[in-house]
Structure 1
Amino acid sequence: MGIDIRQATPSDAQEACDLLRRSIEEGCAADHGQRSEILQAWLSNKTVQNVTTWFSSPSNYAVVAVRGGELAGLALLTQAGKLALCYVMPGQQRQGIGSAMVQAIEERARCWDIAKLHMHSPASGSGFFERLGYVNAGKDKACFGLECDFLWKQLDAAEPPASKRFCTCSGI
């Protein structure tokens, strides 16, 4: 069964919201460890209204992966170069869905002249992004209190060596 990657529309919001919530609750269980304060904070903005707003905003680009007529994945890019969402339905990981969505997001980023993408990823997802050429710059706190990895990828130049660390210093 093939995977169709297409731009998300507001009419996808309900199914996308369900996918996000299930993916976080089940697929990211090792990351939140069933700690209710982290899980509830992580899920708090995953509402149909918010997802509709995210999909409707001209400063975002969201894609969905559709397999067998149902949503299997969701990814969202902001014009600030942030890969804000990248989730695959539990039970459908390791089937090329995430890679196909990231490829579509990177193509849009290049169209928007975004030279570098960045994201926060829970530990369970970091290896996936590293295999796609993202550099793990170390631990950082996500807005919902979970310690995540900060990852980035240069799109307009040769890939930096894997040992290179992200630096925000001004050279002073």
Structure 2
Amino acid sequence: MSGLPGSGKSTLLRRWAEAALVIDPRVVHVACESVMPTWLPYAVYRPWARWRYFRWLRTAVRGGAPLLVHDCGGRPWMRRWLAGHAGPRGRELHLVLLDVGVAEALAGQAARGRWAPRRAFARHRRGLDRLLRTFSGSGEVAPTRGPVREVASVVLLDRGSRERVSTVEFGSRPARP
């Protein structure tokens, strides 16, 4: 699940949580924050939080069950890493991409009362813009091995379609003759 901070990734993942384990870095951020002194800025312990997040993610990927992974979308190396670990385990990587626009993402941040720092938001925006430029037009479900080679499919959701998608289902594809 990729999109700008405030685009609704965590909300959508919570809605889909019955289908699979949700790996959300915010969970680790909150856990780390709870054991740190209140005067210590997140930037100081962010490397530790990220290490814990990647360790959790690696353990979950090795577990073999379906996962829903929260990611900003601007890190191609993360998709390559996930695909590289999913493929040998007989699993596919699918990308759900939230393209709600900057204004909607900023409104989402305001609604939750939590803001991504300006530089971080700009970095996420550049990465997501790069990812979106790999696609021509929009679509509901786009099978791909072209623009984003490491994923089996891409689901592009705007604000309206994000609200209408209530569940996700994982299952095996029928065997091909």
TM-score clears 0.5: no
> Which has a greater percent of helix?
2
TM-score scaled by structure 2? Answer: 0.29
Higher RCO structure (Cα 8 Å, ≥6 apart): 2
> Which has a greater percent of strand?
1
TM-score scaled by structure 1? Answer: 0.29
Q: Which structure has the bigger radius of gyration?
A: 2
